[in-house]
Amino acid sequence: MGEVVSLDRMAAILSRTEGQVVFTNGVFDLLHVGHVNYLQQARDLGDVLIVGLNSDASTRAIKGSGRPIVTQHERARVLAALACVDYVVIFDGTTANGVVEALRPDIYVKGGDWGDGHAPPEAKVVEGYGGQVRILPYMAHHSTTRLIEASRARRGDAWYRLSWRDFVDRDKRRDLIEALLVVVLSLLYIPWGLMKFSLRKEKV
């Protein structure tokens, strides 16, 4: 089981740690199998895996006022409980540049949404001291955003939150069509029910 530590304590631990140190960072809100697979791959690259965790404030700055769903302390405890994670450090910045500069890991890892000429902001810091930057593939169709959208769809309130851009997503299109069908059928049923009630009153 890993530990949740401050940046200063993490730096002190690394001063007496041998082996390859791997670092990654992110929000890790609503931990899912894609996260776990990614972190296991990152741990396999070295001897120690440190996860930099965006604080609640930095998560709001990046993701918007509705995030995070889970508080920073709970997210940190869940991450530290994973066998592949050795340490978790919570930080406040919108990037992990300060944490990376302070810890100087041998290998800096990010997920597959980076790459193809689109480098994470921390890459320059890592390259500046001679470290490696590795981009690992994400599992397709696994993300916190998809989990949140699926939950809203099951509650039946997702259809009116969709924008025109969402029509390119087949799953969202299907959710919208299903929601509209429910609305249409409800509107058809209400006058039919009123008509039946009126006929009953006339017979009486």
Mean pLDDT of 32-41: 91
Per CATH, the number for 3-140 is: 3.40.50.620
Q: Give residue 34's pLDDT.
A: 87
Phi and psi at 47, nearest 5°, equal: -105, -25
How far lies 104's CA from each of 8, 21, 80, 141, 169, in Å? 13, 9, 21, 32, 40
Does the pTM surpass 0.85? The reply is: no
Is the model's pLDDT at 64 over the cut of 60? yes
Q: Give residue 8's pLDDT.
A: 98
Q: Give residue 1's pLDDT.
A: 83
Phi and psi at 111, nearest 5°, equal: -80, 175
- CA–CA gap between residue 167 and residue 134 (Å, rounded): 33
